[in-house]
């Protein structure tokens, strides 16, 4: 079984280091590896962004269901020392 393994390794080396076609085959393999690595990276980034957005949305749904208002732009504050009118903060 080990002999078959080393025969396959030798055949692969001969295939990629062939003096006539080896450089072309190496370039094709390199290009394909780069393509699949980029696709994998893009897929992982997309999945991470999707998961982040879902977690953010779930957090806000839970806060809304519990009754917590964490939206700072919509809070109304009153300052009784200077005026009795409520003031609205603008971000």
* Structure letter (DSSP) for residue 70: -
Q: Is 1 exposed, middle or buried (0-12, 13-18, 19+ CB in 10 A)?
A: exposed
Write down the pTM of the prediction.
Answer: 0.50
Separation of alpha carbons 79 and 65, rounded Å: 29
Read off the pLDDT of residues 37-82 as tens digits, 9 standing for 90 and up: 999 999 999 999 999 999 999 999 998 888 876 555 555 555 555 5
In the chain, where the domains are located? 24-68
With H, G, I as helix, E, B as strand and everything else as coil, classify residue 35. Answer: helix
Read off the pLDDT of residues 14-24 as tens digits, 9 standing for 90 and up: 998 899 999 99
Separation of alpha carbons 35 and 26, rounded Å: 14
Separation of alpha carbons 45 and 55, rounded Å: 15
């Amino acid at each position: 079984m080990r002999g078959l393994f080393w025969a396959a390794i030798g055949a692969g080396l001969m295939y990629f280091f062939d003096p006539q076609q080896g450089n072309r085959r190496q370039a094709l393999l390199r290009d394909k590896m780069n393509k699949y690595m980029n696709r994998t990276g893009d897929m992982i980034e997309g999945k991470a962004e999707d998961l982040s957005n879902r977690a953010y949305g779930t957090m806000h749904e839970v806060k809304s269901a519990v009754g917590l208002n964490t939206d700072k732009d919509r809070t109304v504050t009153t300052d009784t020392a200077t005026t009795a009118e409520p003031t609205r903060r603008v971000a």
